[in-house]
Amino acid sequence: MNFKPVWFDSMGAKSSCILVKTDIDILIDPGAAIMHPGFPAPQEKKIEWYEKALEKINQLHVDVTVISHYHYDHFVREAEMYSNSILFAKNPNEFINDSQRKRAEAFYERIFEFFGVNLKDSLEKPLEKEYEDPLLNLESAGKDFGDYQKRREEILEKGRRWFEKRVEKWKNYKRIPEVKSNHFELKFAEGRNLKIGKTRLRFTEPLFHGIEYSRVGWVFSTVIEYRGMKLIHTSDLNGPIIEDYAEWIVEENPEILVLDGPMTYMLGYTLNLINFRRTIENALRILKETDTELIIYDHHLPREPKFKERTKEVWDEAKRKGKNLLTAAEYLGEIPAVLRVEDWQS
């Protein structure tokens, strides 16, 4: 198994794109977005990195492409990118919020047209289906957070009501179908377990994008197995925040783990200290309880200069355990862009 980061946040543009070569070529989350206004680099430099990321991504032609969700830092909209490839993508019909559904509709209208299929004519009738509250499957839902517990219960109750409203929308969506043509195949990935050649691909069921009932929506994680090697790409679990997701990673015990980190640049805003602490404890557990040889600890994390200081316990534990914990830039022998502030200010 040959693993290569294509582009990540530590390289200057928001992305978590990787290329995995087995007996097939697999590209996961081929997208990029410009860094936020607070990122300490000139705007022209941010645009340069963004354009370079897209250039690197768009020049790749692979057997399998994976899109874990419909945020622009995880997929490109150019249809040519997906020609002669099987696309395993997030189901746009369920476990999705409004903004990602709209992006998915626009994306598939363009994709279908390029491959000679009319999306509007292909839409299927809404599906009558019952959806179980996803919190019921999380053991960590019963965890006691002490002084924060009352507030947590209030937040979870609001989340349940939001989820119920989402379900009603899913039941009324005209459904975007899977398709297969001469030069393109689309399959919705969640829950699939299959083999292509000698490579095993597994995709999780929908997972929360960060905290429980995250309004940002859902993602899935990808597992690739080939000749005794296992790689996991977590997508946007944000740390992970949720303990059950850390438990799943520990049980899988991959040789290579591509783990997105907490949004330390949003501490005190969209990330409170309680949930930030959860990400640290979960990352420490992964380091202590797995035999993972390489961890790319990157997406979301290196967006502000103090990201290593704020996650110091994790880096220190990796050093004690002799684990290769690196940003993608460091894996490629470079200094993370956000730590090169003086270069951009001079």
- 345 band by pLDDT with thresholds 50, 70 and 90: low
For the cut 90, the answer to whether the pLDDT of residue 229 exceeds it is yes
CA separation for the pair 307, 292 (Å, rounded) = 22
Q: At 207, which helix (H) or strand (E)? A: strand 207-208
* 3-class SS letters over the chain: CEEEEEEEHHHCCECEEEEEECCCEEEECCCCECCCCCCCCCHHHHHHHHHHHHHHHHCCCCCEEEECCCCCCCCCCCHHHHCCEEEEECCCCCCCCHHHHHHHHHHHHHHHHHCCCCHHHHCECCCCCCCCCHHHHCHHHHCCCHHHHHHHHHHHHHHHHHHHHHHHHHCCCCECCCEECCCEEEEECCCCEEEECCEEEEECCCEECCCCCCCCCEECCEEEEECCEEEEECCCCCCCCCHHHHHHHHHHCCCEEEECCCCHHHECCCECHHHHHHHHHHHHHHHHHCCCCEEEECCCCCCCCCHHHHCHHHHHHHHHHCCEEECHHHHCCCCCHHHCHHHHHC
pLDDT tens, position by position, 298-342:
999 999 999 999 999 999 999 999 999 999 999 999 999 999 977
- Structural domains counted in the chain: 1
Find the mean pLDDT for residues 148-160: 96
For the cut 90, the answer to whether the pLDDT of residue 227 exceeds it is yes
pLDDT tens, position by position, 78-94:
889 999 999 999 999 99
Residue 72: closest CA among 95, 88, 50, 42: 50
Amino acid letter for position 127:
L
CA separation for the pair 302, 11 (Å, rounded) = 9
CATH number for position 11? 3.60.15.10
pLDDT value for 44: 95
CA separation for the pair 291, 258 (Å, rounded) = 14
195's tokens = 């083999």
For the cut 60, the answer to whether the pLDDT of residue 144 exceeds it is yes
- Give me the domain span that covers residue 313: 2-345
Tell me the whole-structure pTM to 2 decimals.
Answer: 0.96
Residue 216: closest CA among 108, 57, 68: 68
Residue 176: closest CA among 105, 102, 100, 95: 105
Question: Range with the lowest mean pLDDT among 113-127, 234-248, 309-323?
Answer: 113-127
For the cut 60, the answer to whether the pLDDT of residue 132 exceeds it is yes
- 207 band by pLDDT with thresholds 50, 70 and 90: very high
CB 263 within 8 A of CB 270: yes
Find the mean pLDDT for residues 217-242: 98
* Mean pLDDT estimate for the chain: 96
- 181 band by pLDDT with thresholds 50, 70 and 90: confident
For the cut 70, the answer to whether the pLDDT of residue 97 exceeds it is yes
Find the mean pLDDT for residues 149-173: 96
For the cut 90, the answer to whether the pLDDT of residue 191 exceeds it is yes
For the cut 70, the answer to whether the pLDDT of residue 344 exceeds it is no
Instruction: Report the share of the chain in percent with pLDDT over 90.
Output: 94
- 346 band by pLDDT with thresholds 50, 70 and 90: low
pLDDT value for 186: 97
pLDDT value for 343: 75
pLDDT tens, position by position, 262-278:
999 999 888 999 999 99
